[in-house]
Amino acid sequence: MSAASCYLFRNLPDEKMGALHAVSHLQTIPKEQWLFHKGERAEYIYLVEEGAIELVMPVEPDIEIPVALIRPGNGCVGVGALLEPYTYSLSARCKEDTRLTVIARADIYALFESDPEFGSTVMTNLAQRLLERLRETREEVKIHFMNLIQSATFS
């Protein structure tokens, strides 16, 4: 299972990884199939074992903003399942035939309750990643803003 290489489960000892492994299962999704859509209730977290998942922000029926491509070992999708209001904030589509490790929110929360240290480590890892995403978003806003200024100045 790729959980050991996923940022969410960084710094977890082997026995806690074992507990996580016990509540997870594998699922294969064909290329181009949607895993979930923005706004849907988030019941599962997915780790990419093989293949790739693209995260997009739908804007209009034919327009979507590319956000990230999640490959094996570089993350997970569906972390909306860990935080209220438990909805997916982006849509996820398989770019290739994709094999996933699936962990249900109910199962991971049961682990948090039985082992608060486990929960604390996972949520700290999540907070660090969300901060990283916030930094990237601020960088992006800065670039868009500068592009607007440049286009206003030189048009």
CB nearer another protein, residue 110 or residue 143: 143
CB nearer another protein, residue 106 or residue 127: 127
CB nearer another protein, residue 71 or residue 105: 71
Within 10 angstroms of residue 109's Cβ, the number of other Cβ atoms is: 13
- Beta sheet of 24-29, edge-to-edge order: 24-29, 98-104, 44-50, 76-77
Q: HSE-up of 89 (CA within 13 Å, CB side)?
A: 11
Instruction: Tell me the closest approach of the beta carbon of residue 143 to another protein, in angstroms.
Output: 4
Instruction: Tell me the closest approach of the beta carbon of residue 146 to another protein, in angstroms.
Output: 7
CB nearer another protein, residue 85 or residue 154: 154
Q: What are the distances in angstroms from CA 135 to CA 45, 89, 130?
A: 23, 17, 9
User: Is the peptide bond between 30 and the residue preceding it cis, with omega within 30 degrees of 0?
Assistant: no
Instruction: Tell me the closest approach of the beta carbon of residue 47 to another protein, in angstroms.
Output: 11
Residues lying near another protein in the complex (CB under 8 A): 7, 54, 57, 63, 65-70, 74-75, 129, 132-133, 135-137, 139-140, 142-144, 146-147, 150-151, 154
